[in-house]
Chain A
């Protein structure tokens, strides 16, 4: 084909404009040169954002030449935003992940830097709780930093419990007795649901797996020595099915899909919901929603089978931070990670101001400032002292298994899947990830806290 000058003119124009536009795109990111660390933050409330900005960002910027530039994102979509940005090679310097599994995926794909040298420099191995440190490593080298941790607990309204003469249940029998009496009193016995955020389903499953199946069995599954289709897991899911059939969970199957976290917390506050299995991240929202903030209370999970000791704490890391492989100043980025997650006093100052969960650092009750709510101090004092700790699904389960666990649970609620079918699919999904070597090694049960 003969190329004429006439044909070349438009082609040249298209090429020139493409180059110009590409230049515009890339120039947007190159302004970071000159000592800036970019960070995407997401917060429950404006006051939380303000506290983070003052304590961590402004504090770090005042002490360092390199400046942290924080961009605020939507809390519920931060994970997906980051995933997309990492895939496109456009992530901020500090890479957020909603748990160690996602962070390890970034690390295995070499999208984040090896933090082994920084771990030594900042003494992270000694600073963090052993289980959290181990989860943050790949082949013995630290690849991410845990920035907050908590557990699943049972929430209740102390005034309502007192009025009905209930005490926080510790066994399945006690749990079902309270639930039955709450049902008889016209209350929703157990809050739950997944409206607005489908991931709420795994809060329930985490609680039930740990309290009904037990940490040891979960550990065996995660290490390939047992299967989700074993009778203990089937019994746990069937237990949930029985709650749904009785209308105890969220008021029934249909309500499950139209009840969100706010409705559950509000239900506890106004006495229409008796109990709610949720994470310790709810501490701050409970304080805001309850008319008398002193009335909300938490208790360790009851045992939901004879084989599990009452009071298990499923450990969960909700925020795991890494340094992008494309960061222009990884030293400064790592320094900011240490500033956010590596200092007990600073972390607890943030907890005191916001109610947010602290990082899994070695800390004792006397280190908590007086301003920290005593219920928070109580929790973070109990966890290090107990050996009855378990595994939150979003922290210890590989990503695809975790996604299956959430999305397919709908069918259990509607009755379209039996417990056996649901768990068989979960095992099938887990097998693929286990065989691919992308699962995390969990700590040994009865050994950590």
Chain B
């Protein structure tokens, strides 16, 4: 059987319809096509295996463990939905979930706005743009532990920025002497979010800037000819044209905000008294301090469900609004 007959069928009308390989492969020997297909699998197989071993496998294991009382040492015992029931009743999980929601709203608004506005202003610079791009991006490449340690010193109530400002002799700065950013339960979550924003917004700026630079300049020229100023340029040209990037980063911001762990753990470990606890710090504490891996797996499932719901909601919106992203 030749390649032609093997890959060619017939339509209902009887006319031949090509369903096989693309024309570029036409006439090539069978071995070459198989080799090409084999090569594709060779390239993709390591990724599949890694995914299977470190993502899919542990993920499925977590689903199983969430229905058990596994303590990491002894054989897990099936407890049905007990972990989920306890989780739904838990004040710690409820508080952490609220903090995650607040964190998400903060990061959807503050760093995104800073990144967008910063990128727009930077895009209008004719000189030194690269310098500022690097300057704003540098915090992103610093190790979290390093930048968190630096900020812990800067926010220290005795030797930090607030204490230094309060000694300047300006009456309106005097109250700063009593401010303990990470020790005050009312300020701690916002302070950690601020530190994370310091690191994060430069990344958003660079991504938004790259996206803005791909916008056709003719569009800006056209709108300027119509008499539009910078604000209208931004609103009517920039924003619609970078919408795919904006929506994607918004989606990822939501997912990342529910997975946030590093800055919270390094700066406050979820304290004082749970005032900066997020779901991942609760999960970590239950798994690695209290040795309740089964219960921690149930909290992990909650995180997964939230992330999945975010993605599905995004897909639904994209379909309904006919977004091209």
Contact = CB atoms under 8 A, between A and B. Distances in A.
A416 B185 CA distance: 11
A198 B180 CA distance: 18
Contacts of B268: 257
B271 A254 contact: no
A14 B43 CA distance: 11
A257 B288 contact: no
Contact of A255 (B41, B183, B185): B183
Contacts of A270: none
Interface in B128-161: 152, 156-157
A108 B182 CA distance: 40
Contacts of A84: 72, 288
A275 to B, nearest CB: 19
A153 interface: no
Contact of B42 (A13, A80, A106, A253): A13
Contacts of A109: 73-74
A21 B49 contact: yes
Contacts of B41: 9-10, 13
Interface residues of B, number: 36
A206 interface: no
B167 interface: no
B59 interface: no
B304 to A, nearest CB: 21
Given A9-B38, A9-B41, A80-B288, A255 B180 contact: yes
B157 A414 contact: no
Interface string A354-387: 0000000000000000000000000000000000
Given A399-B291, A414-B185, A257 B49 contact: no
Contacts, number: 91
Nearest to A407: B285
Interface string A113-153: 00000000000000000000000000000000000000000
A108 to B, nearest CB: 8
Nearest to B285: A407
B35 to A, nearest CB: 11
A414 B272 contact: yes
Greatest chain A CB density within 10 A among B53, B72, B74 is at: B72
Interface string B178-192: 001011110010000
Interface string B71-91: 011100000000000000000
Given A9-B38, A83-B72, A416-B273, A254 B183 contact: yes
Contact of A413 (B188, B273, B288, B289): B273
Nearest to A250: B183
Contacts of B305: none
Contact of B274 (A13, A17, A87, A410): A410
A257 B289 contact: no
Given A17-B46, A87-B72, A257 B38 contact: no
Interface in A233-272: 253-258
Contact of B156 (A21, A108, A258): A258
A407 B288 CA distance: 13
Interface in B213-231: none
B49 A17 contact: yes
Nearest to A429: B290
Contact of B52 (A18, A105, A111, A195): A18
B99 interface: no
A255 B188 CA distance: 12
A317 B148 CA distance: 32
Nearest to B292: A400
A10 B152 CA distance: 51
Contacts of A108: 73-74
B183 A258 contact: yes
B183 A256 contact: yes
A61 to B, nearest CB: 31
Closest A-B pairs by Cβ, 6 of them? A254-B183, A109-B73, A87-B72, A410-B273, A254-B180, A257-B183
Interface of A: 6, 9-10, 13-14, 17-18, 21, 80, 83-84, 86-87, 105-106, 108-109, 111, 194-195, 198, 253-258, 399-400, 403, 407, 410-411, 413-414, 416
24 contacts: A6-B37, A9-B38, A13-B45, A14-B52, A17-B46, A18-B52, A83-B72, A87-B73, A109-B73, A254-B180, A254-B272, A255-B157, A256-B183, A257-B180, A257-B182, A257-B271, A257-B272, A258-B183, A403-B290, A407-B289, A410-B274, A413-B273, A414-B185, A414-B273
